[in-house]
Amino acid sequence: MNSNQKLRLNSLLQNSAFAVLAVVIAFLAVYVLKDSKLQWDLTQNKRNSLTQATIDVLKKIKGPIQITAYATPQDARTGDLQAQIKEFIASYQRAKPDIALTFVDPREQPKRTQEAGIRVNGEMVIEYEKRKQHLSNYSESEMANALMRLVRTTERLVMFVDGHGERRPDGQANHDLGEFGQQIGNKGIRTNSVNLVVAQEVPANVSALVISHPQVDYLPGEVDKIKAYLDKGGSLLWLLDQAPLRGLQPIADLLGLNLTPGLVVDPEAAALRVEPTTAIAASYGMHAITDGFRLLSVFPQARQIAPNPENPGWRFAPLVEVSPRGWLEGEPSKQPLGFDEKQDVRGPIVIAGAFERTIVDRKQRVVVVGTGEFLANTFLGNGGNLDLGVNMLNWLTDDDSLITVQPRAKVDSRVSLTQGQLGAIGFGFLLVVPLAFLASGGAIWWRRRKA
């Protein structure tokens, strides 16, 4: 056997050994990883993965969740509905393995479907500790809201003081709180209004009371009812504005609240194309409401919030600090706005704070914010305004475990293709591309042979 034959034999043996080794490694990898649940979401906006906010909500749910989907295998409008539901729930099952999903075909079991109160094909019933929620919109935010409603063990009722031109929790005007009221309702917090001229007292089942921007003065008797509510340990969200207190000075005195007159000016707001009297918050205090909060929030026409050091009954924690390079303008009417050392206060300025004390063997909680506009319909969608407002109410209603950043809707960047387009792509990759490579290789071989 000459040297060329030996080289060819050695090369053949080496290539054969490499091929066998590659096959063995592939089989071993398949055997080892066949039960693995590792995955990578390579989509642009991570649309196939849950946000950290939803994962945090799932972690707070102790015990199994049962989901029953009432869906036909095929729907004339949406296609394979059961497959879509499986895909939607799969990401939740990866984060919480004790989520069980079962299907009921409404055509085969119409009586069971009717008893469950199903209204549309594809509707799901989510059950946790004998509490149920219905869901027919397959979005992460809707699912998170349903889970949060299930977690609340008791009903939470938030009442808004009414009768003085306050911002309405169901109003649609720009200055109203209608969108905020709807959002907290989606999360299981019931809202209502109370007129203290008519009501004998603030109802005993109220989880938190909200006062927001009255246009006329409260009567002394109304103020007494609010004070009586606070003396019993009730929770309060007070949204203050630049307007006068409208007879609520006794409430400020009860809280030990020191309200410095003036308007917060943030010169850095100009870079974001907003008015300098709109403060942008990026710094938050150390508190359960703002723990891990990293979103920017917007506070138009804000005023300073500070505790009176001579009132030791309350523990005060600053929540929102703004305008580190701005100031508190003592004369808001002057133009142009500019810092005056004689009458202005340099930033940063605290514009929201939490008050807490122990009364009647329980912790009483109050949050005061130096502007009500940040929750108004006009500004609620800016940055983290909604998240911050929801966190405040969760803390005030003793639902600390539900304080989190709310899941955001993900941009749908999927490409929808018809069956013809899918067939053309498959034909191209399975036939045209291989034939092109084969023709190219043949041409190269023929050219080298001719040379």
**pLDDT tens per residue across all 451 residues of the chain:** 566 666 666 766 776 677 677 777 877 776 666 555 555 554 555 556 787 778 877 887 888 999 999 998 877 677 788 888 998 999 899 888 999 999 999 989 999 999 888 888 889 999 998 888 888 888 888 888 888 888 776 778 999 999 999 999 999 999 999 999 999 988 889 999 999 999 999 998 999 999 999 999 999 999 999 999 999 999 999 999 988 899 999 999 999 998 888 899 988 887 778 888 899 998 899 999 998 888 889 999 999 999 988 777 899 999 999 998 889 988 777 778 788 888 888 989 999 999 999 987 888 999 999 999 999 999 998 888 999 999 999 999 988 767 765 555 554 445 555 666 667 776 666 667 777 777 777 777 677 666 6
DSSP conformation class of 102: E
For residues 107 and 73, the answer to whether their CB atoms sit within 8 Å is no
**d(C-alpha 246, C-alpha 218), whole Å:** 6
- CA separation for the pair 393, 403 (Å, rounded): 9
Ranges assigned E (strand) in 196-348: 208-212, 236-239, 257-258, 263-265, 278-284, 297-300, 306-307, 315-322, 327-329, 345-346
Looking at residue 411, its pLDDT comes to 47
The model's pTM is 0.72
- Structural domains in the chain, CATH included, are 52-149 (3.40.30.10), 155-402 (3.40.50)
Which of 113, 197, 176, 205 shows the shortest CA–CA distance to 397? 205
pLDDT at 131: 86
Q: Which residues contact 360 (CB under 8 A, 6 or more apart)?
A: 232, 233
